[in-house]
Structure 1
Amino acid sequence: MEKSKELGPSKDQPKDQQRKSGRWKLLLVVAVCAAPMIASYFTYYVIKPESRTNYGTLLDPREYPIPPLGSATLDGKPAKLEDYKGKWVLLQVAGGDCDDACKTRLFAMRQLRLMQGKEMERIERVWLITDAKPLDTMLMREYDGTDMLRVDPKLLKAWLPVDAGAGTGTVVEDHLYMIDPLGNLMMRFPKDADPNKVKKDISKLLRASSIG
């Protein structure tokens, strides 16, 4: 009976010591649960194998935190890109009139998501609209499933990086962008991007990460 008592916590044990023990156990549980996410993030952003090649340009997430964009849904309700945390986000920018290049990118985003097969549920599509022009009803129906948010164009263009090597006329509307499930802007695809190469990049991202 004496040995059995010695195995359990003593009644005389200081309460603060018991509290510390409880905290350490809680921290251990949190660490175990967070380990897959931390490992995925570390592998992708810190460990960069020489054999890995990307079609899109990797961006340092520390340089492009998502700022306030004055964003709202089409019916005027506040909506932020941070609300998409936990998902991969394919992002495009265009005015409400949506020219041919805009429609091409909308189509590409839809197909790129579909081409991921069973992984497609990990991806959301967002169109950031830079003006107050009304959208074509048929276009909205055709790309139902793409979230359409109006934003302040000045705030947006101060945030999104363009490809400086593509010439002085390059603008944010020329690119597709990718946001990771942690809410980091992390990849920019070139103007008139090759969908097959973009698909390969996205597939590699999904395989490399267990988050989202």
Structure 2
Amino acid sequence: MTEDKSLAPAPGRGRWQLLGIALLFFGPIAVAWLLVLSDWRPGSLGNHGQFVDPPEPVAAASLAQEDGSPLPERELRGRWSMMLVADGPCDEACQSVLDTLVRVRVALNHEADRVQTLLVLPEGAERPALNGLGETDSLRLLRHGAEGFAPAGESGSEGVRVHLVDPAGERMMAYPLPLDGSGVLSDVRRLLRATDREAERRRGEGT
């Protein structure tokens, strides 16, 4: 019986097939290693703030309302708080950061009521104009005592700091300056969605 040579693989075809299979399996691994070695990270997957681990309770006793009365603990509960803390008067740079935080809240649209902005200044520091915004239920001026307001791990910090406080009254994120407003907005939106999912899960378990 004569072998039909038309059915035999062309010379070299087998090697190309093996090479194609190797690239299919090992190509993605090689690309992944190149990305790791180049320290590439997808920005959309990361948080823009620095997580506080574990979260730290914000001592309401160390904060006061503008009239000098202690801040009730309930004022830090139930909503997310973007807290801007200054060691001195809120100068032009401080007001620029405050303006960014106010814009972040406005950009939340229908979810804006779930977030408040807090400006915390030392006792006796001149009351800023708040960029003409005026103090409202969503933008409040608070005071910290002469000992300052420095959460654990930040005792040496000076100037202006930005913290994100969760609805339980715990500081969970800190943001470096210069402040990236779009990054803060992205984090807050993600956290609001996570809060909604957790609430739905708990309702489901309760039924």
What secondary structure is seen at the aligned counterpart in 1 of 2:172? strand
- The answer as to whether partners of 2:80 and 2:114 remain within 8 angstroms in 1 is yes
Q: In the alignment, which residue of structure 1 is the partner of 2:8? A: none
- The answer as to whether partners of 1:87 and 1:122 remain within 8 angstroms in 2 is yes
Q: In the alignment, which residue of structure 2 is the partner of 1:180? A: 166
User: C-alpha deviations, 1:146-189, integer Å up to 9, x for none?
Assistant: 111111142512x2544x9xxxxx72543211001111110011
- Are residues 173 and 161 of structure 1, via their aligned partners in 2, closer, same or farther at CA, if it must alter by over 3 Å? farther
2:195 counterpart of 1:196: no
Tell me the distance in 2 between the aligned counterparts of 1:116 and 1:153: 34
Which residue, out of 35, 53, 56, partners 2:49? 56
CA drift at 1:52: 4.1
Greater fraction of residues in strand: 2
Give the aligned residue type for 1:120.
A
Give the aligned residue type for 1:130.
P
Structure 2, unpaired ranges of 5+: 1-43, 200-207
2:58 counterpart of 1:66: yes
Q: In the alignment, which residue of structure 2 is the partner of 1:88? A: 80
- Superposed counterparts of 1:100-179, under 5 Å: 100-136=92-128, 138-139=129-130, 141-145=132-136, 146-154=139-147, 156-157=149-150, 159=151, 161-162=153-154, 171=157, 173-179=159-165
CA drift at 1:143: 4.0
Tell me the distance in 2 between the aligned counterparts of 1:140 and 1:193: 17
Aligned residues: 153
What secondary structure is seen at the aligned counterpart in 2 of 1:78? coil
CA RMSD of aligned residues (A): 2.7
Structure 1, unpaired ranges of 5+: 1-50, 165-169
- Are residues 81 and 189 of structure 1, via their aligned partners in 2, closer, same or farther at CA, if it must alter by over 3 Å? farther
Give the aligned residue type for 1:90.
M
- Are residues 115 and 68 of structure 1, via their aligned partners in 2, closer, same or farther at CA, if it must alter by over 3 Å? closer
- The answer as to whether partners of 1:86 and 1:181 remain within 8 angstroms in 2 is yes
Tell me the distance in 2 between the aligned counterparts of 1:94 and 1:143: 18
- Are residues 140 and 104 of structure 1, via their aligned partners in 2, closer, same or farther at CA, if it must alter by over 3 Å? closer
Percent of aligned positions that are identical = 25
User: After TM superposition, which residue ranges in structure 1, 4 or more long, deviate above 6 angstroms?
Assistant: none
- Are residues 75 and 174 of structure 1, via their aligned partners in 2, closer, same or farther at CA, if it must alter by over 3 Å? closer
Mean Cα deviation higher: 185-194 or 148-157? 148-157
Tell me the distance in 2 between the aligned counterparts of 1:153 and 1:185: 21
2:97 counterpart of 1:97: no
